[in-house]
Amino acid sequence: MLGACRSVSMPAGLPNARKAYQEACNKRSPKAEQQWSHAVVYLAGRDCGWHLLANEVESKALPAFTEIYQQYCDQVIRGEEFSIEPPQALPETSQTLASKTHNREQLDQLKQLLS
């Protein structure tokens, strides 16, 4: 009964849980840069875990995804709006090279570990 009520009050463009699951599984990486039918499909996939969606059988992954997705759908029905925030860029790496002394110390430590 709850599922029927949810499906009637779903806003346009918000797919059912199975279609949302399939969309989340089929999008390529980087996920945040893809076009999504609705932001909550991406958010549910992210919260469920992209690794789980890609590597678990559907009988295990779909229920986990559906639970999270339904929570987002309930929030959308209450009027909350969601967007996909691009991930923060990784910090630039330092271009400072290690000294020969430092490299020698590191090498000596490795040799001690292996002997």
Q: 97-104 long-range contacts, Cβ below 8 Å, gap at least 24?
A: none
Distance CA 110, CA 23 (A): 47
Segment 15-63, tens digit of pLDDT: 999 999 999 999 999 999 999 999 999 999 999 999 999 999 999 999 9
pTM for the complete prediction? 0.71
pLDDT at 6: 54
Could you tell me the CA-to-CA distances from 86 to 33, 36, 40, 43, 83 in Å, in that order? 7, 13, 14, 12, 10
Distance CA 44, CA 89 (A): 22
Q: Which helix (H) or strand (E) holds 50?
A: helix 50-55
Q: What would the two tokens of residue 10 be?
A: 């779903």
Is 85 or 19 the better-scoring residue by pLDDT?
19
Average pLDDT, the chain: 89
